[in-house]
Chains A and B, each alone.
Chain A
Amino acid sequence: MMDTIDKTALEVEGLTKSYDSQPALSGVSFDVGPGRIVAVLGPSGSGKSTLLHLIAGLEQPDAGDIRWDGEDLHGVPAHERDFGLMFQEYALFPHLDVAGNVGFGLRMQGMLPAEQDIRIRQVLNLVDLAGYEPRQVDTLSGGERQRVALARSLAPRPRLLMLDEPLGALDRTLRERLLLELPRILNEVGQTALYVTHDQQEAFALADRVVLLNNGRVEQTGSPLEIYRTPHTPFVARFLGLTNLFPANVRQQGDELLVETPLGNFAALTELRGPVTVLLRPDRLQLGGSGSGQLRGTVVSRSFRGEMLLLRMRIDEIELQVALDSDDEVPPVGEQIRLTFDPATALQVLS
């Protein structure tokens, strides 16, 4: 097992690109292992699309390297990289039918028409569009177009498949369904894939690893669980919807390390010193309980979210987000409550 994990297919190192002296990417590095799905996650304008275009070879980087199996791809044009790209707006060819679109890459490879037909049928089956070959693309629904675009990029068996916000233009129900189907399809063919999105739910659901991009720089890399459990920066925490962030100060007091926060002083485990930001994890707060951290405040609002209950409570001028199990006794709005937490796990010191 170990060696397959250690092997890298795609290596990106120090990638830098500017447009009109506006930096779009600065020193971006990460790898993708063979057969792995890596999600590039970030808000719009963070450089995701630029990154894809550089890896695809549609644009040239100002600095940095892109390697495949150790081979430098510098100067290799897009059509010789053997990478697939599924476009955000799908970019289906309007003058070709579904078969013509899906078979385009095969035709470029010079595959025999009879073999093309077999492969087209195969990938259309894979995306649940069996029998769609003669349809014109303008007669397809949004979800069907999306799947044709996926089939088209899968058909030539690219070494790497890149997907640019592939679910962006779809309605919610369709997204949910494709979110389940997509990893099945990709895993079925063992496809190495790079998935670009601004939606953390999508990235976490699909990817083995996540590269979080902010303002053209890599903010954090890790498995979805790692990133969710230990966000490294306030940006990452906020991006994940964790909003209990406070300015704090880390100070040595005797042989103990103390964080001073607006909510009080707590013992902490960190290498950082001086001014920091702390995150109080909403899922590590308990009603009542016996943790050493203690908070008292008033319930401002509550909302039921299925398996959990989201509470907002106010302590002086500060509003806190609290996630409770839905089988907990729920205090009504306006009630004074007491929360406890274990500082070692609930309080995270961020840079």
Chain B
Amino acid sequence: MRHHFHTSLLLWVLPLAFLGSFFFYPLFRIFSLSFTRGQVGLLEPIVETLRSGQTMHVLGFTLAQALASTLLTLLLGLPGAYLFGRYEFRGKSALRALSGIPFVLPTVVVAAAFTALLGPRGWINAALMQFFKLGSPPISFVNTFAAILFAHVFYNTTIVLRMVGDFWSHLDPDLGAAARTLGATRWRAWVRVTLPLLAPAILAAALLVFIFDFTSFGVILLLGGPRFATLEVEIYYQTVSLFNLPTAAVLSLLQLACTLGLTILYTRLSNKLSRPITLRSAHLTQNRLRTWKVRLAAGLLILILLTVLVLPLAALGLRSFTRYGSAPRGEQVVQGWTLANYRQLAQDPQGSIFYVPPAFAIRNSLVYALATVLLSLLIGAPAAWALARDGHSRLARWLDPLLMLPLGTSAVTLGLGFIIALDRPPLDLRASPLLLPIAHTLVAFPFVVRSLVPALASIKPDLRQAAAMLGATPRQVLRFIDLPLVGRALLVSAVFAFTISIGEFGATALIARPEYPTVPIAIFRFLSRPGAINFGQAMALSTILMVVTAAGMLAIERLRLAEVGEF
């Protein structure tokens, strides 16, 4: 046992050293910067910042937009969850997979997609201008509150669809039927039995959506414009534009406290979710769409879901292949199909010295992503192994939630921590090419560990014994059982790390060096500059990024071994 314990300890060294240096130390520096700024009292600067009208305004807006977004998401998601949970229809699994794509897309892609659909050069404005022969776009969507809400609904509806829908599909319909045999009307049976059983799932989903909306950064920055600032965006402005690090640090603390509170609330709720109520296998609870009324309602709902979740992406893809230009009377019109937007990625049309060609950004992103893959596997694999070996030991029970902490910390806060902490020896990494991969690894690390642990734990001794009984030598057991299973899990983790790194925007926006932009940074720059060429390049780059991330996530879904024996 003693020997075992020492091995475990050894496995923890690298992950803990990494988290200590690049997560806890920067957080500590954010703390100390917040507390030691003023000469008067320890808490004075914090109180001052918190009491300022600006902070209250930002916090108020952050909460308000998160609340509004969450309610809208529930409005669309709950009917969808009912459809997914209770009905079986053709194309259901395709619709389910499709609805998951927005969730995994980088924020810059989402911003680009909405711009492609509803922006001044977007499809809808172009169509209206062409049809009514207008000189300027009639709909102004970008830089409005509506744009923020719409993008959040687009992003998070799948959370409600999946969390509530899955729970619903396992909820025994006989419970409602039992209530009705006991004299309840259909409505009362729903209110008294189904809804209370569903409530924890709905609340957990709503809270998770709220957390994502609360910490939203890219969407607000890119689609909301300078008029709107959440805490996250304010930290970014204070850091990058005003270089007011102490204020940024205090805001980070505020943000951290809020997300921590919300996360604790969420964990409590989701623990409640797993209480043992009688769950039925999903195929026993599903109905067909029988009457034409039900079919009509379902069809309408599917159409709405497709419009909200798929149309922006289609708009982006198509927009990247269109030529767009001025008609004789000055209005912007679509002039046909072209590959020019993609060809221009390799060129420098402006010939300016500050210009970084998109191809270079693609190369940077690939290099950073590969480095992130290596680093996060190097750090994540030992931790996952230790957790899979003795996940129930006291040590592991303490360390497991610790590993997940970076997940609850906003990317901008992570970036700010890097700026504050890693600028002097012994950790002077400002100029190091490793800075970005390290930041991305912090974001990817929890995902890597979470996908490795179950795979490693699934290699139960009986699989090895079964192989031995079939005549496999110990070497053959390693080659045909252990390696393929671990290899697959490693591949899934690697794709996770790659996809996260290639789309990461929050931390990257703060710490990427201007001369080495990543693809999301390049898209951000193109979108914030005027001009048709910039816009076309943003569309092309975003489409590439969309395809890469969606392909990555599909690969993960395919490579993951389904749990044998679930229900």
- Which of the listed residues A89, A104, A107 has the most CB atoms from chain B within 10 Å of its own CB? A104
Q: Is B473 positioned at the interface, with any CB of A under 8 Å from its CB?
A: yes
How far is B48's CA from A275's CA once the two chains are assembled, in angstroms? 92
User: Restricting to A50-82, which residues have a CB under 8 Å from any CB of B?
Assistant: 56, 58, 77-80, 82
- Quick check: A138 and B561 within 8 Å, CB to CB? yes
- Quick check: B485 and A109 within 8 Å, CB to CB? no
* Residues in B whose Cβ lies below 8 Å from that of A85: 465-466, 469
* Residues in B whose Cβ lies below 8 Å from that of A83: 469
Taking the closest CB of chain B, its distance from the CB of A147, in whole angstroms, is 15
How far is B562's CA from A46's CA once the two chains are assembled, in angstroms? 34
* Residues in A whose Cβ lies below 8 Å from that of B474: 79
Taking the closest CB of chain A, its distance from the CB of B463, in whole angstroms, is 5
The residue in chain A whose Cβ has the minimal distance to the Cβ of B473 is A79
- Quick check: B467 and A104 within 8 Å, CB to CB? yes
- Quick check: B471 and A91 within 8 Å, CB to CB? no
* Residues in B whose Cβ lies below 8 Å from that of A58: 465, 468-469
* Residues in A whose Cβ lies below 8 Å from that of B564: 92, 94, 137-138
Q: Is A1 positioned at the interface, with any CB of B under 8 Å from its CB?
A: no
Q: Is B58 positioned at the interface, with any CB of A under 8 Å from its CB?
A: no
* Residues in A whose Cβ lies below 8 Å from that of B565: 89
Given known contacts A94-B458, A95-B488, A84 and B469 CB-to-CB distance under 8 angstroms: yes
The residue in chain A whose Cβ has the minimal distance to the Cβ of B485 is A95
How far is B562's CA from A93's CA once the two chains are assembled, in angstroms? 12
Q: Mark B452-466, 1 if CB is under 8 A from A, else 0.
A: 000000101011011
Pick the interface stretch among B128-136, B403-411, B476-484: B476-484
The residue in chain A whose Cβ has the minimal distance to the Cβ of B562 is A138
* Residues in A whose Cβ lies below 8 Å from that of B469: 56, 58, 78-79, 83-85, 153
The residue in chain A whose Cβ has the minimal distance to the Cβ of B469 is A85
Taking the closest CB of chain B, its distance from the CB of A138, in whole angstroms, is 4
Q: Is B207 positioned at the interface, with any CB of A under 8 Å from its CB?
A: no
- Quick check: A95 and B465 within 8 Å, CB to CB? no
Q: Is B472 positioned at the interface, with any CB of A under 8 Å from its CB?
A: yes
Given known contacts A93-B481, A138-B562, A79 and B468 CB-to-CB distance under 8 angstroms: yes
How far is B465's CA from A153's CA once the two chains are assembled, in angstroms? 12
User: Restricting to B350-376, which residues have a CB under 8 Å from any CB of A?
Assistant: none
Q: Is B470 positioned at the interface, with any CB of A under 8 Å from its CB?
A: yes
* Residues in A whose Cβ lies below 8 Å from that of B476: 79, 108
Taking the closest CB of chain A, its distance from the CB of B112, in whole angstroms, is 37
How far is B463's CA from A94's CA once the two chains are assembled, in angstroms? 9
How far is B481's CA from A136's CA once the two chains are assembled, in angstroms? 16
How far is B564's CA from A79's CA once the two chains are assembled, in angstroms? 25
Given known contacts A85-B465, A93-B466, A95-B561, A79 and B484 CB-to-CB distance under 8 angstroms: no
* Residues in B whose Cβ lies below 8 Å from that of A42: none
Q: Mark B466-509, 1 if CB is under 8 A from A, else 0.
A: 11111111101000110011001000000000000000000000
The residue in chain B whose Cβ has the minimal distance to the Cβ of A105 is B470
* Residues in A whose Cβ lies below 8 Å from that of B467: 93, 104, 108
- The secondary structure that dominates the A interface is mixed
Interface size in chain A (residues, C-beta < 8 A): 28
The residue in chain A whose Cβ has the minimal distance to the Cβ of B462 is A91
The residue in chain B whose Cβ has the minimal distance to the Cβ of A149 is B466
- Quick check: A89 and B484 within 8 Å, CB to CB? no
Q: Is A234 positioned at the interface, with any CB of B under 8 Å from its CB?
A: no
- Which of the listed residues A58, A92, A95, A156 has the most CB atoms from chain B within 10 Å of its own CB? A95
Q: Is A87 positioned at the interface, with any CB of B under 8 Å from its CB?
A: yes
- Quick check: A87 and B465 within 8 Å, CB to CB? yes
Q: Is A152 positioned at the interface, with any CB of B under 8 Å from its CB?
A: yes
Chain B contact patch, size range:
20 to 34
Taking the closest CB of chain B, its distance from the CB of A118, in whole angstroms, is 18
Q: Mark A97-114, 1 if CB is under 8 A from B, else 0.
A: 000000011011100000
Q: Mark A102-140, 1 if CB is under 8 A from B, else 0.
A: 001101110000000000000000000000000011100
How far is B187's CA from A103's CA once the two chains are assembled, in angstroms? 56
- Quick check: A156 and B470 within 8 Å, CB to CB? yes
* Residues in B whose Cβ lies below 8 Å from that of A89: 462, 565
- Quick check: B458 and A91 within 8 Å, CB to CB? no
Taking the closest CB of chain B, its distance from the CB of A57, in whole angstroms, is 8
Taking the closest CB of chain A, its distance from the CB of B132, in whole angstroms, is 54
How far is B473's CA from A78's CA once the two chains are assembled, in angstroms? 9
* Residues in B whose Cβ lies below 8 Å from that of A104: 467, 470, 472, 480
The residue in chain A whose Cβ has the minimal distance to the Cβ of B463 is A91
Query: Which of B460, B471, B484, B563 is A95 in contact with, Cβ under 8 Å?
Result: B484
* Residues in A whose Cβ lies below 8 Å from that of B472: 79, 104, 108
* Residues in A whose Cβ lies below 8 Å from that of B471: 79-80, 82, 105, 108-109, 156
* Residues in A whose Cβ lies below 8 Å from that of B473: 79, 108
- Quick check: B485 and A108 within 8 Å, CB to CB? no
How far is B474's CA from A77's CA once the two chains are assembled, in angstroms? 10
How far is B484's CA from A82's CA once the two chains are assembled, in angstroms? 25
The residue in chain A whose Cβ has the minimal distance to the Cβ of B471 is A108
Taking the closest CB of chain B, its distance from the CB of A60, in whole angstroms, is 14
How far is B501's CA from A330's CA once the two chains are assembled, in angstroms? 80
* Residues in A whose Cβ lies below 8 Å from that of B460: 91
How far is B463's CA from A83's CA once the two chains are assembled, in angstroms? 16
Q: Mark B9-41, 1 if CB is under 8 A from A, else 0.
A: 000000000000000000000000000000000
- Quick check: A152 and B485 within 8 Å, CB to CB? no
- Quick check: B462 and A93 within 8 Å, CB to CB? no
How far is B259's CA from A67's CA once the two chains are assembled, in angstroms? 65
Q: Mark B178-198, 1 if CB is under 8 A from A, else 0.
A: 000000000000000000000
How far is B467's CA from A83's CA once the two chains are assembled, in angstroms? 12
Given known contacts A105-B471, A138-B562, A91 and B485 CB-to-CB distance under 8 angstroms: no
- Which of the listed residues A80, A93, A109 has the most CB atoms from chain B within 10 Å of its own CB? A93
- Which 6 pairs of residues, A with B, have the shortest CB-CB distance? A105-B470, A108-B471, A91-B466, A138-B562, A91-B462, A78-B468
Residue ranges of B at the interface with A (Cβ–Cβ < 8 Å): 458, 460, 462-463, 465-474, 476, 480-481, 484-485, 488, 561-565
Given A79-B474, A85-B469, 4 more pairs with CB closer than 8 A:
A78-B465, A79-B468, A82-B471, A94-B458
24 contacts between A and B (CB under 8 A): A58-B465, A58-B469, A77-B468, A78-B465, A79-B469, A79-B471, A82-B471, A84-B470, A85-B469, A89-B462, A89-B565, A91-B460, A91-B466, A93-B467, A93-B481, A94-B458, A104-B467, A104-B472, A105-B471, A107-B480, A108-B467, A138-B561, A153-B470, A156-B470
